[in-house]
């Protein structure tokens, strides 16, 4: 009786797994065929046959496409061209037949090609415009001025660049302690001991992901309304983004540390704070330092971009001269920015290599 | 001094690692736990100082019930029980001295120790124990740059820093060569005999067991199947503990 029961249980689980896989495979196939139908319709019919420049979109189209996808899937699901069944491991593959000769591989390649063509059409790639006479002349004018930088504003430019570097540094420095503490609360291995721990972990992760997924540029716009246009808004934008990025990196580092020293320090009867200080921190200081320096480096680059929307520093300066079409000045600024980025990049990689 | 009664441990993933183990340990013993890989030896040791929480059963240390303690009380018990590990588990990038001093964390103020301020007499003691394990002159070397045998000796010194009444050793020589294994075991013997520290030690090699143990218990599939004198483990018992196919490998 008991043996029967134990034998039946895994078999049932297996069947359930099979059903789940088949269902998933069907869904994948329906989606892929629907995609093919939709893209073919939009590219072949609307773009090429009707030659519409901006084809209209309605929510009915993807729904129809999915229905068509389902209709195509039903007969083809049991042939060899079901990608769904291939990816869910439901085919028994002939080992001697090379995989790229299988029908589903060919279908997969076809989908990628279709996507490529669609991409070309959507980005409106036009060799004619790229090589047109008036276009080339305009580009040449700008390039020539760029290569004749106006050295008169060099000191101004360097001053603005220094402002940018300091802004990035302050943003990183202020973000550091916050990220340091949040990093511990976002590390699964430290938090999963208790229910409260897991709750803090989940909420913390959610907010970190949320703030990180909003671009610093968007934060800069928000803060420039909040505190006014200028370096302070830019700094705040960088800081928010740095906190969440650093906390994420830190917590991943914590998740990768070895448990041994933690066990050993716990076994001495140490307080949890001591366990973290002696068991966790020595394993993470160097990677932390290296992440932080790298972050500063990234922040200098981002600060330049943020300057473009009025976050202060050299980016704002670039924006102003660009608006006035003063290409010689823009040329100088581009050179200054490139040098700063290059120096920061070189310096930070050297430092990071040294502390490995 | 230690009484374990009907100890059970079920891991969250459902593994039933200990299925009702009962034994006791007297002061001054050198108790060795043997058994196949996965028989529950490491789990056993970790339940004694509550690195793992046993599922049921009781562990009494000097008549204190350990399994239900929390917070400062369990930390006090832990500080009376030293522990060393197969992979030494020293603090990376820190000096031998700091590693040994970390054994005294249980009785240091939290913030002082976080700032790295150690009382002078603790430092003296640390130097003394580093001497005892034969590492004088290496106090300021990085611990993770030492050889395996030396690292295990640092770990012993760290455990001694606790003034332990019991020393738990989880396969202390499993990652060492035969000669180094013997030297580390000799240090444990010295700790046992000269300092009077009770030792509970997981071992794999029966030759080491016969040489160092004063008593042996054997686990199989989470159950205690043998308890007795090391010299009494004959071929029959050996096969019962390790399975019929097993052959004894010696280390000398
Ligand atoms: N953290 C854990 N979570 C889940 N199961 C575990 C955990 N640690 C150990 N186990 C399981 O518990 C059982 C006993 O493991 P344990 O490490 O105590 O054995 P052992 O006798 O020390 O073996 P070895 O000689 O290999 O060290 C094994 O089946 C193991 O897979
Ligand atoms: Mg073990």
Model confidence over A126-177: pLDDT tens digits?
A: 777 777 888 788 888 888 887 888 888 888 888 888 888 888 889 899 999 9
pLDDT at A11: 58
Question: Which of A263, A282, A286 is nearest residue B51 as measured by Cβ atoms?
Answer: A263
Q: Is the pLDDT of residue B168 over 90?
A: yes
Interface test with B, best of A194, A195, A268, A277 (most B CBs within 10 A): A268
Provide the pLDDT confidence category of residue A13 given band limits of 50, 70 and 90.
low
Mean local confidence (pLDDT), A3-26: 68
- How far A275 CA lies from chain B's nearest CA (Å)? 9
Least confident range of A162-176, A275-289, B221-235: B221-235
Q: Do B93 and A282 touch (CB under 8 A)?
A: yes
Structure tokens at A184: 């511990």
Interface test with A, best of B76, B92, B143, B160 (most A CBs within 10 A): B92
3-class secondary-structure state, position A94: coil
Q: Alpha-carbon distance A33 to A104, whole Å?
A: 12
Burial class of residue A131 (count of CB atoms within 10 Å of its CB; 0-12, 13-18, 19+): exposed
Model confidence over B45-77: pLDDT tens digits?
A: 999 999 998 999 999 999 889 888 888 899 999
- Tell which phi-psi region holds residue B220, choosing left (phi > 0), alpha (psi between -120 and 50) or beta: beta
Residues of A in contact with B79 (CB under 8 A): 268-269
Q: Is the pLDDT of residue B82 over 90?
A: yes
pLDDT at A206: 93
Taking the centre of ligand 1 as the mean of its atom positions, its distance from the CA of residue A264, in whole angstroms, is 18
Tell me which ligand sits closest to the C-alpha of residue B43. 1
Task: Name the residue of B9, B10, B14, B15 to mutate for ligand 1: max ligand atoms within 8 A of Cβ.
Answer: B15
Q: Is the pLDDT of residue A4 over 50?
A: no
Q: Do A264 and B90 touch (CB under 8 A)?
A: yes
Residues touching ligand 1 (Cβ under 6 Å) are B 11, 13, 15, 17, 35, 37-43
Provide the pLDDT confidence category of residue A7 given band limits of 50, 70 and 90.
very low
Task: Name the residue of B8, B39, B44 to mutate for ligand 1: max ligand atoms within 8 A of Cβ.
Answer: B39
**High-pLDDT (> 90) share of chain A, %:** 15
Mean local confidence (pLDDT), A219-236: 85
Residues of B in contact with A268 (CB under 8 A): 78-79, 82, 102-106, 158, 161-162
Question: Which of B80, B92, B110 is nearest residue A282 as measured by Cβ atoms?
Answer: B92
Task: Name the residue of B40, B53, B85, B204 to mutate for ligand 1: max ligand atoms within 8 A of Cβ.
Answer: B40
Q: Where are the beta strands (DSSP E) in A121-233?
A: none
Question: Which of B79, B110, B114 is nearest residue A269 as measured by Cβ atoms?
Answer: B79
pLDDT at B251: 63
Atom index in ligand 1 nearest the CA of residue B11 equals 4
pLDDT at B32: 92
Residue A118 CB: number of other CB atoms within 10 A?
16
Atom index in ligand 1 nearest the CA of residue B219 equals 21
Which residues does A contribute to its contact with B (CB < 8 Å)? 260-261, 263-271, 273-274, 277-279, 282-283, 285-286
Residues of A in contact with B87 (CB under 8 A): 260
CA trace torsion B73, B75, B81, B82 (10° rounding): -170
Provide the pLDDT confidence category of residue A3 given band limits of 50, 70 and 90.
very low
Which residues does B contribute to its contact with A (CB < 8 Å)? 49, 51, 75-83, 85, 87-94, 102-106, 108, 110, 113-114, 155, 158, 161-162, 168
Q: Do B91 and A274 touch (CB under 8 A)?
A: no
Buried b (16+ CB within 10 A) or exposed e, A195-204: eeeeeebeeb
Atom index in ligand 1 nearest the CA of residue B43 equals 18
Give the Å distances, CA to CA, from A224 to A211, A212, A228, B23, B201. Answer: 17, 18, 4, 71, 65
Cβ B159 vs Cβ B83: under 8 Å: yes
Q: Scan for tokens 């291995």, then name that residue.
A: A189
Half-sphere exposure of A321 (CA within 13 A, CB side): 22
Q: Do A269 and B106 touch (CB under 8 A)?
A: yes
DSSP string, A326-354: -HHHHHHHHHHHHHHHHHHHHHHHHHHHH
Question: Which of A260, A263, A265 is nearest residue B102 as measured by Cβ atoms?
Answer: A265
Atom index in ligand 1 nearest the CA of residue B39 equals 21
Tell me which ligand sits closest to the C-alpha of residue B241. 1
């Amino acid at each position: 009786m008991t043996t029967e029961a134990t034998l039946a249980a895994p078999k049932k689980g297996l069947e359930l797994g099979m059903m789940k896989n088949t269902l998933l495979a069907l869904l994948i196939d329906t989606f892929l065929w629907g995609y093919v139908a939709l893209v073919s319709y939009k590219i072949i019919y609307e773009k090429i046959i009707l030659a519409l420049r901006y084809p209209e979109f309605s929510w009915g189209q993807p729904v129809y496409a999915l229905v068509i996808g389902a209709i195509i899937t039903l007969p083809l699901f049991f042939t060899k061209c079901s990608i769904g069944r291939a990816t869910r491991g439901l085919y028994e593959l002939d080992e001697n037949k090379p995989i790229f000769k299988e029908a589903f591989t060919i279908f997969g390649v076809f989908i990628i090609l279709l996507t490529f063509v669609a991409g070309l059409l959507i980005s409106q790639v036009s060799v004619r415009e790229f090589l047109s006479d008036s276009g080339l002349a305009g580009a040449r004018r700008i390039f020539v001025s760029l290569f004749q930088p106006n050295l008169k504003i060099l000191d101004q430019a360097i001053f603005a660049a220094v402002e940018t570097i300091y802004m990035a540094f302050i943003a990183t420095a202020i973000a550091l302690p916050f990220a340091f503490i949040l990093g511990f609360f976002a590390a699964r291995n430290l938090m999963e001991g208790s229910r409260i721990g897991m709750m803090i972990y989940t909420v913390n992760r959610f907010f970190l992901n949320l703030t990180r997924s909003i671009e610093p540029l968007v934060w800069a716009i928000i803060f420039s309304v909040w505190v006014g246009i200028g370096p302070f808004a830019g700094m705040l934008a960088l800081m928010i983004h740095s906190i969440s990025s650093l906390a994420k990196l830190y917590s991943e580092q914590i998740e990768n540390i070895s448990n041994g020293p933690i066990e050993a320090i716990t076994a001495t009867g140490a307080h949890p704070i001591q366990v973290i200080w002696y068991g966790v921190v020595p394993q993470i200081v160097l990677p932390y330092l290296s992440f932080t320096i790298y972050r500063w480096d990234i922040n200098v680059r981002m600060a330049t971009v943020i300057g473009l929307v009025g976050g202060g520093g050299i980016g704002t300066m670039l924006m102003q001269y660009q608006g006035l079409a003063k290409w010689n000045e823009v040329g100088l600024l581009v050179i200054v920015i490139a040098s700063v980025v290059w120096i920061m990049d070189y310096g930070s990689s050297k430092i990071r290599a040294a502390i490995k | 001094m230690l009484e374990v009664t009907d100890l059970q441990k079920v891991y969250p993933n459902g593994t039933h690692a200990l299925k009702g183990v009962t034994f006791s340990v007297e002061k001054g013993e050198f108790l060795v736990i043997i058994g196949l890989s996965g028989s529950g030896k490491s789990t056993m040791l970790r339940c004694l100082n509550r690195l793992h929480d046993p599922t049921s059963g009781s562990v009494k240390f000097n008549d204190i019930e350990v399994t239900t303690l929390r917070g400062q009380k369990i930390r006090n018990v832990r500080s009376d029980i030293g522990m060393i590990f197969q992979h030494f588990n020293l603090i990376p990038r820190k000096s031998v001295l700091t590693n040994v001093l970390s054994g005294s964390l249980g009785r240091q103020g939290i913030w002082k120790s976080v700032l790295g301020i150690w009382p002078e007499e603790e430092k003296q003691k640390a130097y003394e124990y580093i001497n005892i394990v034969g590492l004088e002159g290496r106090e300021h070397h990085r611990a993770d740059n030492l050889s395996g045998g030396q690292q295990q000796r640092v770990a012993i010194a760290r455990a001694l820093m606790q003034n332990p009444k019991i020393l738990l050793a989880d396969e202390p020589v499993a990652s060492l060569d035969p000669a180094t294994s013997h030297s580390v075991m000799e240090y444990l013997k010295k700790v046992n005999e000269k300092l009077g520290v009770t030792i509970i030690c997981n071992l794999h090699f029966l030759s080491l067991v016969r040489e160092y143990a004063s008593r042996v218990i054997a686990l199989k599939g989470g159950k205690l199947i043998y308890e007795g004198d090391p010299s009494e483990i004959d071929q029959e018992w050996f096969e019962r503990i390790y399975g019929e196919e097993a052959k004894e490998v010696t280390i000398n």
